[in-house]
Amino acid sequence: MLPKRRRIAAIILTALPGPALAHHGMDDATPGTLGEGIMSGFAHPVLGLDHLAFLLAAGLLASAAPRLGYRALAAFLTAGIAGALLHRAAIGLGPVEIGVAVSVLAAGGLLLALGRRTAIIASALAVPGFALAGLFHGHAFAEAVAESPAAVFIAHLAALTLAQAMITGAALLAARAVAGFGNLPFRAAGLGATAVGAFALVTAIGG
């Protein structure tokens, strides 16, 4: 019988959702209508813990230097569309889920190590990194609608992009609201994102 600590850890790991490649609110069925495509697009970022962790961390990083942060978020969303189109065209990007997990680890690590003050520097360097992350996230998201009709795919992509913009925007506003707490909210969020990214990476490698 496993020691108590190992049993507790096993229960927690079992309860955590895995990478979000197939989670899109449709019981893993391929969306076939515009309504299903829209629902899939809105649900996908929320149901995938790794994707959600990255979006929240990205919004927090962007809040430190708004102008540069907005550019980084725009680069992520634009590259996400490009990644989805690459998937639609059957152009692979290699181990996509590993790329997603690494992006979550990187965003979490920046928050954890840098805090609020030096996150401004991270934001200044973030545009290329956010764009690269967007390619992997977008490519992974498109798995849900890879075989859907073109109109459904477009509806999914539009809803997905809007949902991601809303989540990152909410995180950005939340960061401003807790600015008086200094580095603590940033580092707490960084710790959470790092844990999610590590779990996603182990899952992706093991899968």
* Rg of the chain (C-alpha set): 17
User: Is residue 186 a contact partner of residue 116, using CB atoms and an 8 Å limit?
Assistant: yes
Summarised one tens digit per residue, pLDDT across range 121-148 is: 565 567 888 999 999 999 999 988 988 8
Q: Has residue 18 been placed in a domain?
A: no
Closest by Cα among 26, 50, 49 to 156: 26
Top pLDDT among 111 and 133 is at 133
Q: Has residue 7 been placed in a domain?
A: no
Q: Has residue 136 been placed in a domain?
A: yes
Domain total of the chain: 1
| Predicted confidence (pLDDT) at residue 116 exceeds the cutoff of 90 | no
Note the pTM of the prediction, 2 decimals: 0.81
Q: Has residue 139 been placed in a domain?
A: yes
Q: Has residue 169 been placed in a domain?
A: yes
Q: Has residue 96 been placed in a domain?
A: yes
Top pLDDT among 152 and 8 is at 152
Summarised one tens digit per residue, pLDDT across range 19-44 is: 433 444 555 678 888 899 999 899 98
User: Is residue 160 a contact partner of residue 44, using CB atoms and an 8 Å limit?
Assistant: yes
Q: Has residue 9 been placed in a domain?
A: no
Query: How far is Cα 74 from Cα 29, in angstroms, rounded to an integer?
Result: 30
Q: Once rounded to an integer, what is the mean pLDDT over residues 147-167?
A: 94
Q: Has residue 98 been placed in a domain?
A: yes
Top pLDDT among 51 and 124 is at 51
Q: How far is CA 162 from CA 38, 39, 78, 192, in A?
A: 10, 12, 11, 24
Query: Which residue range is the domain that position 85 belongs to?
Result: 50-206
